[in-house]
């Protein structure tokens, strides 16, 4: 039966470093839980109280974006022709455009029942002159 090679100080130090790495990986378990929440591709907002329902009744696309996403700015997309006047922060304001980052928003509301559709709210325009 072969004998185990003798353990040197360098090998012991390497094992200790590996143990520290394992401990650091286990410490990040709270971060892992946050990342798992971000994986969800669908979240239903169904207000229970009358006050919550009133806040979301007839909600505009822009209000939904501001409520459920993070706001950011970017340079406006290249334009063909004249600039938008008067300047609008959603389209072009001094060469910058307000955009939103987060999950895509689909709104199903009372109006959706009558026109048999759902609103998909765009977070940013793709070409000059378009907005959220």
Same domain, 59 and 23: no
What are the tens digits of pLDDT across the range 17-76? 444 444 444 455 455 555 555 666 667 787 888 888 888 888 888 888 888 889 888 888
User: For residue 84, is it within any domain?
Assistant: yes
Whether residues 34 and 55 share a domain: the answer is: no
**82 & 122 share domain:** yes
Q: The whole model's pTM is what? A: 0.57
Same domain, 17 and 54: no
Cα gap 9→54, rounded to integer Å: 69
Whether residue 98 lies inside any domain: the answer is: yes
pLDDT at 132: 63
First to last CA, the chain: 72
Sequence-ordered list of residues with C-beta below 8 angstroms from that of 74, at least 6 positions apart, any chain: 96, 97, 99, 124
Q: Is 88 left (phi over 0), alpha (psi -120 to 50) or beta?
A: beta
Contact in structure between 59 and 107 (CB atoms under 8 Å):
yes
Whole-angstrom Cα distance, residue 100 to residue 123?
5
Q: Are residues 71 and 93 in the same domain?
A: yes
In which domain, by residue range, is 35 found?
A: 7-39
Domain count, the chain: 2
- Confidence at residue 49, expressed as pLDDT on a 0 to 100 scale: 87
């Amino acid at each position: 039966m072969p004998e185990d090679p003798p353990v040197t100080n360098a090998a012991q130090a390497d094992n200790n470093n590996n143990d520290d790495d394992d401990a650091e990986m286990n410490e990040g378990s709270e971060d892992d839980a946050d990342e798992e929440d971000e994986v969800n591709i669908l979240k239903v907002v169904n207000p229970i109280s009358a006050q919550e329902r009133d806040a979301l009744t007839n909600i505009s696309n822009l209000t939904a974006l501001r409520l459920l996403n993070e706001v950011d700015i970017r340079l406006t997309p290249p334009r063909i022709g004249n600039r938008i006047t008067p300047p609008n922060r959603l389209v072009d304001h001094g060469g910058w455009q307000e955009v939103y980052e987060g999950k895509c928003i689909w709104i199903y509301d009372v109006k959706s029942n009558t026109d048999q559709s759902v609103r998909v709210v765009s977070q940013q325009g793709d070409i000059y002159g378009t907005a959220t």
